[in-house]
Amino acid sequence: MFCKKTVKKISAAALSAVLGLSLSFSAVSMPEASAIGLGDVVGIGIGAAQAAQQKEQVMKEYRYLNTDEEGREMLFRKFQNDYGVNDDYELCQRFDTIMANLSAAVAEVDPSIKERPYKYFISQDNSINAACGMGHVMMVNTGTFRYMNDDELAAIVGHEMGHGQKDHMIKSLSSNMDKTLLASIAVAATGGTALANVLGSLTLNQSIVHADKRKEWEADGLAFEYIVHTNYNPGACAAVMQKFIDLMGPQKQNFGEMLLNPSDHPNSEARRDKYAEKLSEYSGKHVTAKNGKVMVNGKDFVAPAPAGGMSAMERSYFVFGNLAAAYNHGQNKGDAHVENGTVMLGLQPILTPVEGDESAEVLAERLNSIK
């Protein structure tokens, strides 16, 4: 299991050999990149040819980390060393199962995953966060496992795998390389921090940050596509966004750095609603949900009570997801009925009523009347 890999320290010499850069990864103070143009660089004695050569050298190092097995392993070990590894058996079992299921699903959509299987681990950080850097190197913070169920974890990991499959990180670095490189050269030429240090910091830090909003939307769409190729509840994609909204209420200070809504992401409400649109389309437009109420064919079906650590809104998206799956798989052709206290539609479980919900019998009868 990648989750259980032993963490080994990387020697300065080994890392330098891989990165071709200095080992100083501290933040670098630079002038605004947008204020520096090629004329400025030439004016301080750095020509366009040299800038192009420097860029190609940096991209060569990035490609090494992104596609070469040795480079990927080096980056993986570096992240483990920097963020710490949680080897808790139960958490690792959960993560391994999710990765196995999602990797199989991704392979159905994008077989290229077989060329670069993901390297992943659980960091020791107790906040809710996850990231996929270059080389299909992924980490999920311990706190994410504590607050999310497995369906929601699958939605989060699926989003990160969407970034990985589209190589969003290296594409973002490449597209921004010119301004970053020119600014770095300017600092080095005027006696500031060495260019190698700047690029070293860039390699480590920016390889795990999220991309622009367009890429975030793309990763969201891919997460949904991957999830519907698994047995996870497709409503989890919307539900996890609702959980984030719920957590960011009274606990905003504690959850200020969650993965789900940094400044480069679309806002959580918009992402939740986009997922709800996808769910409705997945159901053939038979199922919708709004403000915690789930509707079938435009008629009210259920407004679930909060339960199991979920708000009423969050839980409604799981009911929505089950109904969407039932319609997509043709289970709506069967009768709604009750099995062991659970409302079923054909062979698809829809919900198990808890305190505050209407009875399973009432809900099954209503579903039959509107489905």
pLDDT (tens digit, 0 to 9) for every residue of the chain, 371 residues total?
456 443 333 333 333 333 322 222 122 222 233 333 444 444 444 566 776 777 777 777 788 889 999 989 988 998 898 889 999 999 999 999 999 999 999 999 999 999 999 999 999 999 888 989 889 999 999 999 999 999 999 999 999 999 999 998 888 777 766 555 555 545 454 444 333 443 444 444 444 444 578 888 999 999 999 999 999 999 999 999 999 999 876 434 344 344 444 444 568 899 999 999 999 999 999 999 999 999 999 999 999 999 999 999 999 999 999 999 999 999 999 999 999 999 999 999 999 999 999 999 999 999 999 99
The helix/strand/coil state of 287 is: strand
Q: Report H helices in the chain.
A: 12-19, 38-43, 48-67, 69-83, 89-109, 142-147, 150-165, 168-175, 177-189, 195-205, 213-227, 236-247, 268-282, 312-328, 360-370
User: How confident is the model at residue 207, as a pLDDT?
Assistant: 46
Contacts of 176 (CB under 8 A, 6+ apart): none
**Beta-carbon count within 10 A of 131 CB:** 20
Q: How far apart are alpha carbons 111 and 108 in whole angstroms?
A: 6
Report pLDDT for 211.
54
Complete DSSP assignment for 227-251: HTTSSS-TTHHHHHHHHHHHHTTTT
Q: Looking at residue 16, what is its pLDDT?
A: 31
pTM, entire model: 0.81
Strands 293-296 and 299-302: what pairing? antiparallel
